[in-house]
């Protein structure tokens, strides 16, 4: 009969883990303490030096498959560590819940600058180790202390020409013109990347958008949404926006360019188009949750692997993620250049997302925006 | 051991679990609301200054009220028929009321998404039959939320009314008829007043449950019909704004308590909640 | 009785309302049999492909199994605690017991999002976030009101002289409960247990707040499925659940006859 007291053992193991975390027990001491309890084999990837797998979390759908097959495989070839991709959507709420639960499952999360700031404020993500990740291989300005650029995407104007027999919208002003361009529109359930379009629709020049959006400007832009709200369905997640187009719920809208890239192949020929004119160009951000299971080093190495320019181009071809590595732009095939948010031609048409503006205004603007939509 | 103490030993485990793991954490929400992100009543002043919050509260109460009225009218007809006319089909009718009750709200909301979408089955059928040329918007608006909410809440209205009607003797109606009252008049003046306790009871149940409803509005509202529960979740999941979420929760909880307090004047709360027959 | 206008009005009306209650749910059946890869009615022939997808998906099956066993544990825990509680209150029958009974049904009145928020903060302190224990505890609390209500309804019909007689004959309290009370209120306990199981089996808001990745329940899979992509697999799952409900309701109807 097995007389081992498992509950007691796991208790001791937990105390040892706490001490180890708190730094009062060295890694060697920690492992030998566990060894004495006969627990090391059960610990798997949590304490042993070489991680057995790396779990990357992104937003589901095809994007998850591609991440696994492309970047995951490259990382496994390089390090021998297999990569698992979880498409659960690492919203700040989930990341915080995971870190607070004390059992972090994700090693690396696909996030955005705004969310990264929120998560950093809550103290649930760790700083990027720039001795492993190369600052030179990302667009300038996307090397934040607590997150680093992974790819580039845009908020772009997409539409379904079959639902617009009398003409298609070319500009945001057209989107606000309900008379000539009837049908439902979709916008994000958050101001991120949305107010810029309203400002452009009011005739603001694209380089002056954020200057225009001071307190008065924000109010004016919000008023534009109030004006349009009976024609709006909002999307919460990228896949939701994709569904709205697929099911014909909306005729046009402001969606992620990456989702547009997928829709161009998913929808019937001729029923989907997207323009970068008046789009908002923005980097996606890798963040590493505190106490990630595979350890910080493994996560940083994955980021470094993903910076490779050729991989970046393959990633773009598969799913429309614009390369974050400036060296990759030249390697994008000519026939797909029109879909690349970071091609010189497309960059010239777009507003460049301002972290600084969002840091200052997002919270207050968010509230006004929701108010305008639900009122 | 004292006899009474023995009985308390039976009561205590369940009660203790409820108080420690439920009542205490719920009361603690107040604590979060006055400490995060900073100590003080900042969340409350912010909340009352926000038009979005006001709009969301008004919307929540409006949807709950319309749902309640619709459920009472539709439910009354069903309960009355089952109690008085159904005869042999009574078990069938009762079964049809109970069936949706047992199907999860999630599944029922999914069914409505399938039906009400722009290219959903209702629109497809109407277009196919040549009745309309362009799809009607049933979903992603208040109408869709209301249809699905009434569907979810209807059994909660029918059952208390049915219990009440089953206890009403038909001799009063017969007497009124015997005295020469028309059927309609006998119903209105003799039967209906007797059913009011059941109506109030069902109405209160539906109203209170609707106030805190989350799933159906979140799935069918298209993000624009944001009831207060969804607003709280959104603040917490997207912005980790626990302080504001907690403050909103406190107000929602107080609003619910206030509704119960006011209702206690008209409704037998004990019968509605404690002695609910299922 | 003659067919009066009022009667015709009410009968027709109530059949219409019942159709509104039931038909929308049944729509998931044809949709689950669609031969298309998107939500819609079958185009050319009926197909069981979406049921196959469900039955061959370890994720869906695992989530289904998780929901079933969590529900079973919750049913047992809530029925045990709730029955003991109700019997105690029934014996006491004083003001304090009345207050205790009100405390026990508070979870019915508190909005799901609000209680989940409370759970979350406390579960963090207890280290129960994203654990099966955490979900079981939360669901037991949510099931308890239903158990106490239905057990108490059964107790209300019990003759108080019965346990008294047993006690007078020298039976201990425990024995009286086991041999006299529990057999008499068994139907109420079963109803309460079934309620607790279903409350747990369908619960979504608490699970959304309290779990991240380690615990996956069926409602959570359906919720994520609806948000991620409206996939006919959900219709297949829904059909299976509706069928089970249909059978049980039918069974209940025949028995009540």
Q: Could you tell me the pTM of the whole model? A: 0.88
Cβ distance of C230 and A247 shorter than 8 Å: yes
Q: Which two tokens stand for residue A346?
A: 């497309």
Task: Say if residue A272 is in the same domain as residue A355.
Answer: yes
Task: Say if residue A100 is in the same domain as residue A120.
Answer: yes
Cβ distance of B237 and A92 shorter than 8 Å: yes
pLDDT reading at A9 higher than 70: no
Q: What pLDDT shows up at residue A150?
A: 96
d(CA C188, CA C152): 8
- Measuring CA to CA, how many Å separate C19 from each of A288, B100, C138? 52, 11, 35
As for how many domains chain A has, the answer is 3
Cβ distance of B226 and A374 shorter than 8 Å: yes
d(CA A219, CA A198): 11
pLDDT reading at A2 higher than 70: no
Q: Half-sphere exposure of residue B219, counting CA atoms within 13 Å on the CB side?
A: 30
pLDDT reading at A78 higher than 90: yes
- Per the prediction, chain B carries an average pLDDT of 92
Give the tens place of pLDDT for each residue, A110-136.
Answer: 998 888 988 999 999 999 999 999 999
Q: Which of C85, C89, C117 sits opposite B249 (nearest CB)?
A: C117
C66 to chain B nearest CA, in Å? Answer: 17
Task: Say if residue A216 is in the same domain as residue A347.
Answer: yes
Q: What pLDDT shows up at residue C230?
A: 64
- Per the prediction, chain C carries an average pLDDT of 92
pLDDT band with cut points at 50, 70 and 90 for residue A95:
very high
User: Could you please report the per-residue DSSP string of A33-56?
Assistant: HHHHHT-HHHHGGGTSSS-S-EEE
In a mutational test of the A interface, the residue from B222, B226, B227, B235 whose CB has the highest number of chain A CBs within 10 Å is B222
N-terminal to C-terminal alpha carbon distance within chain B: 37
- Measuring CA to CA, how many Å separate B214 from each of A265, B221, B232, C199? 35, 10, 10, 16
Interface of B with C in 209-268 (CB under 8 A): 211-215, 219, 229, 232-233, 236, 242, 245-246, 249, 252-253, 256, 260
Query: What are the φ/ψ torsions at residue C107 (nearest 5 degrees)?
Result: -60, -20
Chain C: residue whose CA lies nearest to B242: C117
Task: Say if residue A79 is in the same domain as residue A218.
Answer: no
B225 to chain A nearest CA, in Å? Answer: 6
User: Could you please report the per-residue DSSP string of A196-242?
Assistant: HHHHHHTT--GGGHHHH-SHHHHHHHHHHHHHHGGGEEEESSHHHHH
Interface of B with A in 217-236 (CB under 8 A): 222-226, 231, 234, 236
What interface predicted TM-score (ipTM) does this complex get?
A: 0.93
Residues of A in contact with B236 (CB under 8 A): 93
pLDDT reading at B177 higher than 60: yes
C21 to chain B nearest CA, in Å? Answer: 6
Q: What pLDDT shows up at residue C145?
A: 97
pLDDT band with cut points at 50, 70 and 90 for residue A39:
very low
Mean pLDDT of all residues in A268-292: 95
In a mutational test of the C interface, the residue from B110, B232, B245, B271 whose CB has the highest number of chain C CBs within 10 Å is B110
Task: Say if residue A203 is in the same domain as residue A351.
Answer: yes
Cβ distance of A247 and C127 shorter than 8 Å: no
pLDDT band with cut points at 50, 70 and 90 for residue B12:
very high
pLDDT band with cut points at 50, 70 and 90 for residue A172:
very high
Q: Which helix (H) or strand (E) holds A288?
A: strand A273-289
d(CA A11, CA A29): 17
Crossing angle between the packed helical segments B242-263 and B192-211, to the nearest 10 degrees: 170
**Interface partners of C (3+ CB pairs, < 8 Å)?**
A, B
Q: Which two tokens stand for residue A78?
A: 């390089």
d(CA C50, CA A375): 40
A329 to chain C nearest CA, in Å? Answer: 31
Q: What pLDDT shows up at residue A200?
A: 97
Instruction: Name which of A115, A133, A134 is nearest A124 in CA terms.
Output: A115
Q: Which of A227-236, A246-255, A315-324, C33-42 has the lowest mean pLDDT?
A: C33-42
Q: Please state the separation of Cα B88 from the chain's center in Å.
A: 30
pLDDT reading at A213 higher than 60: yes
Mean pLDDT of all residues in C167-195: 94
Task: Say if residue A278 is in the same domain as residue A358.
Answer: yes
Query: Computed from CA positions of residues A135, A141, A144, A148, in that sequence, does the dihedral angle turn out positive or negative?
Result: negative
Q: Which two tokens stand for residue A128?
A: 């990027």
Residues of C in contact with A246 (CB under 8 A): 38
Residues of B in contact with A233 (CB under 8 A): 140, 222-224
**End position of a domain, from candidates A297, A313, A331:** A331
User: Could you please report the per-residue DSSP string of chain C?
Assistant: ----HHHHHHHHHHHHHHHHHHHHHHTHHHHHT-SSSSSS--SSS---HHHHHHHH-HHHHHHHHHHHHHHHHHHHHHHHHHHHHHHHHHHH-SHHHHHHHHHHTHHHHS-HHHHHHHHHHHHHHHT-TTSHHHHHHHHHHHHHHHHHHHHHHHHHTS-THHHHHHHHTT--HHHHIIIIIHHHHHHHHHHHHHHHHHHHHH--HHHHHH-SSS---HHHHHHHHHHH---HHHHHHHHHHHHHHHHHHHHHHHHH-
Mean pLDDT of all residues in B41-66: 92
Q: What pLDDT shows up at residue A227?
A: 93
Cβ distance of C81 and B95 shorter than 8 Å: no
Mean pLDDT of all residues in C220-230: 84
CB contact, 8 Å: A88 with chain C? yes
Q: Which two tokens stand for residue C156?
A: 């209300």
pLDDT reading at B194 higher than 90: yes
pLDDT reading at A37 higher than 80: no
CB C89 within 8 A of CB B11: yes
Residues of B in contact with C112 (CB under 8 A): 212, 214, 229
What does the angle CA B172 – CA B173 – CA B178 come to, to the nearest 5 degrees?
A: 95
Residue A1 lies in a domain: no
Mean pLDDT of all residues in C233-242: 94
pLDDT band with cut points at 50, 70 and 90 for residue A5:
very low
Mean pLDDT of all residues in B184-193: 91
Q: Which of A92, A121, A229 sits opposite B224 (nearest CB)?
A: A229
pLDDT band with cut points at 50, 70 and 90 for residue A222:
very high
Cβ distance of C130 and A246 shorter than 8 Å: no
* Percent of chain C topping pLDDT 90: 82
pLDDT reading at C64 higher than 90: yes
Cβ distance of B140 and A189 shorter than 8 Å: no
Q: Half-sphere exposure of residue B240, counting CA atoms within 13 Å on the CB side?
A: 21
Q: Which of A151-160, B45-54, C239-248 has the lowest mean pLDDT?
A: B45-54
CATH superfamily, domain at B51-274 = MetI-like (1.10.3720.10)
Q: Which of C129, C224, C228 sits opposite A100 (nearest CB)?
A: C129
Give the tens place of pLDDT for each residue, A249-265.
Answer: 999 999 999 999 999 98
Q: Which two tokens stand for residue A323?
A: 């390369």
The per-residue b/e assignment along A295-325, b for 16 or more CB within 10 angstroms, e otherwise, is bbebbbbbbbbbbbbebbbbbbbbbbbbbbb
* Percent of chain B topping pLDDT 90: 67
Query: What are the φ/ψ torsions at residue A325 (nearest 5 degrees)?
Result: -85, 115
Give the tens place of pLDDT for each residue, B116-137.
Answer: 988 888 998 999 999 998 888 8
What does the angle CA C219 – CA C221 – CA C227 come to, to the nearest 5 degrees?
A: 105
Q: Which of B85, B102, B187 sits opposite C245 (nearest CB)?
A: B102
| Domain ranges for chain B | 1-35, 51-274
Give the tens place of pLDDT for each residue, B143-163.
Answer: 999 999 999 999 999 999 999
Residues of A in contact with B60 (CB under 8 A): none
Chain B: residue whose CA lies nearest to A250: B118
Cβ distance of A240 and C212 shorter than 8 Å: no
pLDDT reading at A148 higher than 50: yes
Query: What are the φ/ψ torsions at residue A102 (nearest 5 degrees)?
Result: 80, 0
Q: Identify the residue whose tokens are 């919307």.
A: B59
Secondary structure, 3-state, A75-143: HHHHHCCCEEEECCCCCHHHHHHHHHHCCCCCCEEEEEHHHHHHHHHCCCEECCCCCCCCHHHCCCCCE
- Measuring CA to CA, how many Å separate A174 from each of A180, A182, A187, A230? 8, 10, 15, 16
pLDDT reading at A42 higher than 50: no
Mean pLDDT of all residues in A287-304: 96
Instruction: Name which of C5, C12, C24 is nearest B78 in CA terms.
Output: C12
Peptide bond into B37 cis (omega under 30): yes
Q: Please state the separation of Cα B178 from the chain's center in Å.
A: 40
Q: Half-sphere exposure of residue A126, counting CA atoms within 13 Å on the CB side?
A: 19
Q: Which of A101, A105, A239 sits opposite C228 (nearest CB)?
A: A239
Q: Which residues contact B103 (CB under 8 A, 6 or more apart)?
A: C25, C241, C242, C245
Mean pLDDT of all residues in C80-88: 97
Cβ distance of C129 and A101 shorter than 8 Å: yes
Q: What pLDDT shows up at residue B253?
A: 96
Q: What pLDDT shows up at residue A3?
A: 38
Mean pLDDT of all residues in A191-208: 95
CB contact, 8 Å: A96 with chain B? yes
Residue A319 lies in a domain: yes
Cβ distance of C104 and B18 shorter than 8 Å: yes
pLDDT reading at A49 higher than 70: no
Task: Say if residue A230 is in the same domain as residue A189.
Answer: yes
Q: What pLDDT shows up at residue A6?
A: 44
* Percent of chain A topping pLDDT 90: 65
Residue A298: give its domain's CATH number. Answer: 3.40.190.10
Q: Which of A141-155, B122-136, C146-160 has the lowest mean pLDDT?
A: B122-136
pLDDT band with cut points at 50, 70 and 90 for residue A10:
very low
Q: Which of C88, C195, C249 sits opposite B99 (nearest CB)?
A: C249
d(CA A34, CA B136): 65
Longest dimension (CA), chain C: 74
Task: Say if residue A225 is in the same domain as residue A344.
Answer: yes
Question: Comparing A21 with C76, which gets the higher pLDDT?
Answer: C76
CB B34 within 8 A of CB B43: yes
d(CA C228, CA A237): 8
Q: What pLDDT shows up at residue B277?
A: 56
Interface of A with B in 348-367 (CB under 8 A): 363, 366-367
The structural domains of chain C, ordered by start, are 63-256 (1.10.3720.10)
Q: Which residues contact B44 (CB under 8 A, 6 or more apart)?
A: B33, B247
User: Could you please report the per-residue DSSP string of C55-115?
Assistant: HH-HHHHHHHHHHHHHHHHHHHHHHHHHHHHHHHHHHH-SHHHHHHHHHHTHHHHS-HHHH
N-terminal to C-terminal alpha carbon distance within chain C: 23
Query: Computed from CA positions of residues B137, B138, B140, B141, in that sequence, does the dihedral angle turn out positive or negative?
Result: positive
Residue A315 lies in a domain: yes
Q: What pLDDT shows up at residue A102?
A: 85
pLDDT band with cut points at 50, 70 and 90 for residue A373:
confident
**Interface partners of B (3+ CB pairs, < 8 Å)?**
A, C
Residues of C in contact with A13 (CB under 8 A): none
Domain that holds residue A100: 54-152+284-331
Q: Which two tokens stand for residue B222?
A: 């298209």
pLDDT band with cut points at 50, 70 and 90 for residue A41:
very low
């Amino acid at each position: 009969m097995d007389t081992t007291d498992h509950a007691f053992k796991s208790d001791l193991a937990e105390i040892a883990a706490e001490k180890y975390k708190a730094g009062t027990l060295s890694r060697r001491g920690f492992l030998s303490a566990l060894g004495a309890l006969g627990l090391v084999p059960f610990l798997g990837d949590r304490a042993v030096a070489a991680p057995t797998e790396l779990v990357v979390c992104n937003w589901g759908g095809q994007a998850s498959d591609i991440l696994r097959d492309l970047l995951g495989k490259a990382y496994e070839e390089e390090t021998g560590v297999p990569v698992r991709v979880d498409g659960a959507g690492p919203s700040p709420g989930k990341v915080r819940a995971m870190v607070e639960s004390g059992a972090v499952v994700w090693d690396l999360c696909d996030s955005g600058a705004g969310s990264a700031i929120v998560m950093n404020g809550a103290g649930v993500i760790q700083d990027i180790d720039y001795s492993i990740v190369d600052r030179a291989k990302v667009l300038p300005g996307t090397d934040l202390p607590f997150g680093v650029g992974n790819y580039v995407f845009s908020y772009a104007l997409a539409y379904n020409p079959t639902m617009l027999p009398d003409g298609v919208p070319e500009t945001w002003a057209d989107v606000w013109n309900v008379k000539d361009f009837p049908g439902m529109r979709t916008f994000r359930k958050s101001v991120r990347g949305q107010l810029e379009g309203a400002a452009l629709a009011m005739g603001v020049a694209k380089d002056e958008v954020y200057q225009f959006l001071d307190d008065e400007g924000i109010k004016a832009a919000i008023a534009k949404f109030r004006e349009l709200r009976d024609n709006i369905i909002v999307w919460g997640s990228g896949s939701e926006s994709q569904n709205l187009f697929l099911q014909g719920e909306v005729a046009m809208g402001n969606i992620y360019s990456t989702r547009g890239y997928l829709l161009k192949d998913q929808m019937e020929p001729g029923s989907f188009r997207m323009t970068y004119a008046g789009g908002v160009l923005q980097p996606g951000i890798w963040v590493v949750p505190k106490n990630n299971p595979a350890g910080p080093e493994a996560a940083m190495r994955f980021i470094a692997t993903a910076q490779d320019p050729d991989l970046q181009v393959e990633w773009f071809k598969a799913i429309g993620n614009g390369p974050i590595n400036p060296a990759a732009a030249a390697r994008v095939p000519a026939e797909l250049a029109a879909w690349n948010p970071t091609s010189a031609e497309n960059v010239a048409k777009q507003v460049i997302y301002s972290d600084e503006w969002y840091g200052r205004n997002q919270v207050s603007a968010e509230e006004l925006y929701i108010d305008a939509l639900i009122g | 051991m004292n006899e009474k103490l023995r009985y308390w030993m039976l009561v205590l485990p369940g009660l203790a679990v409820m108080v420690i793991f439920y009542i205490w954490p719920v009361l603690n929400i107040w604590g979060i609301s006055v400490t995060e992100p900073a100590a003080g009543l900042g969340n409350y002043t912010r909340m009352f200054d926000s038009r979005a919050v006001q709009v969301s509260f008004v919307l929540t109460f409006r949807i709950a009220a319309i749902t309640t009225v619709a459920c009472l009218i539709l439910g009354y007809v069903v309960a009355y028929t089952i109690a008085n006319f159904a005869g042999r089909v009574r078990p069938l009718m009762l079964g049809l009321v109970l069936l949706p009750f047992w199907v999860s709200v999630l599944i029922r909301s999914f069914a409505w998404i399938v039906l009400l979408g722009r290219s959903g089955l209702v629109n497809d059928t109407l277009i196919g039959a040549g009745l309309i040329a362009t799809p009607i918007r049933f979903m992603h608006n208040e109408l869709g939320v209301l249809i699905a909410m009434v569907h979810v809440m209807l059994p909660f209205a029918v059952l208390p009314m049915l219990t009440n009607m089953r206890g009403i003797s038909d001799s009063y109606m017969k007497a009124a008829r015997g005295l020469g009252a028309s059927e309609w008049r006998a119903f209105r003046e003799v039967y209906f007043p007797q059913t009011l306790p059941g109506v109030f009871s069902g109405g209160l149940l539906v109203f209170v449950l609707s106030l805190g409803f989350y799933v159906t509005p979140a799935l069918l509202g298209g993000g624009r019909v944001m009831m207060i529960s969804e607003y709280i979740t959104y603040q917490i999941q997207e912005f980790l704004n626990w302080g504001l979420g907690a403050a909103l929760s406190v107000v929602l909880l107080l609003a619910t308590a206030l509704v119960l307090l006011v209702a206690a004047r008209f409704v037998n709360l004990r019968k509605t909640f404690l002695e609910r027959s299922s | 009785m003659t067919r009066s206008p009022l009667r015709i009005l009410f009968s027709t009306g109530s059949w219409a309302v019942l159709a509104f209650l039931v038909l929308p749910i049944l729509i998931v059946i044809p949709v689950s049999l669609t031969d298309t890869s998107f939500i819609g009615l079958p185009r050319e022939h009926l197909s069981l492909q979406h049921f196959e997808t469900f039955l061959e998906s370890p994720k869906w099956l695992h989530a289904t199994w998780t929901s079933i066993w969590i529900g079973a544990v919750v049913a047992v825990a809530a029925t045990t605690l709730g029955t003991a509680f109700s019997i105690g209150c029934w014996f006491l029958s004083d003001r304090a017991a009345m207050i205790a009974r009100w405390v026990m049904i508070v979870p019915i009145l508190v909005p799901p999002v609000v209680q989940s928020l409370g759970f979350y903060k406390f579960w963090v302190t207890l280290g129960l976030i994203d654990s099966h224990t955490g979900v079981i505890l939360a669901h037991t609390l949510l099931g308890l009101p239903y158990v106490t209500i239905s057990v108490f309804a059964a107790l209300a019909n019990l003759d108080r002289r019965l346990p008294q007689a047993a006690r007078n004959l020298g039976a201990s309290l425990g024995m009286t409960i086991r041999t006299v009370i529990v057999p008499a209120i068994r139907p109420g306990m079963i109803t309460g247990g079934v309620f607790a199981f279903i409350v747990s089996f369908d619960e979504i808001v608490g699970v959304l707040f309290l779990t991240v990745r380690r615990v996956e329940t069926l409602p959570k899979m359906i919720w994520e499925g609806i948000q991620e992509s409206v996939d006919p697999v959900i219709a297949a799952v829904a059909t299976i659940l509706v069928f089970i409900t249909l059978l049980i309701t039918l069974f209940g109807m025949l028995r009540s006859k």
